[in-house]
């Protein structure tokens, strides 16, 4: 390596180490390091949007990769939903490069956008990053979701009628992605408030781009954000919210116990034909236990990465509980047939 390049590298390393001398930044970094510890093997990647949160995450991830000699990839997705998106992506890439962070820009091909623009952007962003992760054999994607996002997602799911599992699912620091079970999403900032991330950014890279979608009242997330802001004035704190979330998590663990018990006691899996037979008592358990149990067996037989939509499962359960004939139904690649007091579930293309 040339002497000039060595000098630049040393200067960059000094930049990161000196920033960690700041007591507040060091405290946040140690919390971040604790959250990623044990989850990262050799390499990982960071989903970069250019916003305050992801830029702060980029700093923390770079520090971790230097300290632990881990290969870290940085991906920014140009969603092409705004005329300035490509310019912004290039600006973010240029800025990060000045701090020895090489960021790859992934571009979403233009296509028909659904009515839910934010959902479209999020889904396609994950698809592109997952695709690159598979190519580079990365099994961990770090996202910049923080404690404010945790509260927002709870209220959004509450307004959409999510059940217990849906309300608490975002609180998990690590979860499987929808598209491939080999890759996980890691949220190492989930217990860190946005204001702390803003502090890191201001005192490190001091650069970010603003997405106007984050200020548009037509989006539910923006409305919920304003609602939470008003609730905070009336005493809502993250610690109080976290306490309630922990209580819900305990209830969810209890339900999961009975779900597993129901599957183990009241169903038989025939490996040769990949068929599951449900006993009569399977459908006689409490509604939430039956709903989750049925969702899991349908997913297993249908070999899907995600669960079927809730309303379809509920309609099918109601149907099975109300009939005694051998009529057939199909759902998520499965054929479901009621025969006397049993239900047989087998692959549609078996």
> CA 296, 300, 303: angle at the middle one, nearest 5?
130
Q: Which residues does 298 contact at the CB level (< 8 Å), separation at least 6?
A: 304, 307, 308, 313, 331, 332, 334, 336, 345
Q: Which residues does 262 contact at the CB level (< 8 Å), separation at least 6?
A: 282, 285, 289, 290, 293
The domain 3-236 is classified under which CATH number: 3.30.70.2860, 3.40.30.10, 3.90.180.10, 3.40.50.620? 3.40.50.620
pLDDT of residue 202: 97
Cα separation values, 10 from 3, 66, 188, 331, Å: 11, 12, 27, 59
pLDDT of residue 166: 83
pLDDT of residue 200: 97
Tally Cβ neighbours within 10 Å of residue 78: 20
Summarised one tens digit per residue, pLDDT across range 292-347 is: 999 999 988 988 766 667 788 888 999 898 876 677 889 989 999 998 889 999 99
pLDDT under 50 in the chain at which residues? 179
CA atoms within 13 A on the CB side of 5: 2
Residues of the chain with CATH 3.30.465: 264-347
Using DSSP's 3-state secondary structure scheme, residue 103 falls into: strand
> Which two three-digit tokens encode residue 112?
């028909």
Residues of the chain with CATH 3.40.50.620: 3-236
Rg (CA), the chain: 24
**CATH number given to 264-347:** 3.30.465
pLDDT of residue 311: 82
Using DSSP's 3-state secondary structure scheme, residue 1 falls into: coil
Bridge partners of residue 107, in order along the sequence = 78
> Which two three-digit tokens encode residue 65?
């990769």
pTM of the entire predicted model: 0.81
Q: Which residues does 319 contact at the CB level (< 8 Å), separation at least 6?
A: 329
pLDDT of residue 126: 85
> Which two three-digit tokens encode residue 67?
């300290």
**Burial classification of residue 192, based on how many CB atoms lie within 10 Å of its CB (0-12 exposed, 13-18 middle, 19 or more buried):** buried
- The residue behind tokens 């979608």 is 213
pLDDT of residue 8: 57
Rounded to 10 degrees, the C-alpha dihedral 17/22/28/33 comes to: 20
């Amino acid at each position: 390596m040339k002497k000039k390049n060595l000098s630049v590298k040393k200067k960059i390393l000094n930049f990161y180490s000196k920033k960690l001398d700041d007591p507040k930044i060091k405290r946040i970094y140690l919390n971040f390091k604790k959250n990623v510890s044990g989850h990262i093997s050799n390499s990982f990647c960071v989903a970069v949007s250019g916003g305050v949160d992801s830029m702060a995450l980029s700093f923390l991830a770079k520090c971790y990769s230097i300290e632990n000699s881990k290969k870290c990839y940085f991906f920014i997705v140009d969603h092409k939903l705004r005329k300035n998106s490509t310019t912004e992506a290039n600006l973010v890439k240029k800025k990060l490069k000045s701090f020895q962070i090489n960021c790859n820009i992934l571009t979403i091909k233009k296509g028909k956008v659904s009515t839910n623009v934010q959902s479209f952007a999020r889904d396609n962003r994950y698809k592109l990053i997952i695709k690159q992760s598979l190519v580079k054999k990365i099994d961990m994607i770090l996202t910049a979701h923080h404690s404010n996002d945790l509260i927002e997602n709870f209220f959004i799911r509450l307004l959409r009628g999510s059940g217990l599992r849906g309300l608490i699912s975002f609180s998990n620091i690590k979860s499987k992605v929808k598209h491939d079970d080999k890759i996980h999403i890691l949220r190492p900032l989930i217990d860190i408030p946005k204001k702390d991330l803003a502090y890191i950014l201001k005192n490190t890279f001091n650069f970010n781009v603003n997405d106007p979608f984050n200020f548009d009242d037509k989006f539910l997330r923006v409305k919920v954000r304003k609602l939470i802001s008003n609730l905070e004035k009336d005493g809502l704190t993250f610690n109080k919210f976290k306490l309630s979330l922990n209580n819900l998590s305990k209830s969810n663990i209890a339900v999961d116990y009975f779900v597993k018990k129901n599957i183990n006691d009241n169903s038989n899996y025939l490996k040769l034909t990949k068929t599951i037979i449900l006993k009569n008592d399977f459908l006689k358990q409490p509604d939430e236990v039956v709903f989750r149990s049925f969702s899991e067996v349908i997913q297993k037989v249908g070999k899907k990465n995600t669960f079927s939509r809730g309303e379809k499962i509920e309609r099918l359960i109601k149907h099975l509980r109300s009939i005694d004939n051998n009529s057939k139904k199909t759902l998520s690649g499965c054929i479901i047939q009621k025969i006397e007091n049993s239900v047989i579930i087998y692959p549609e293309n078996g």
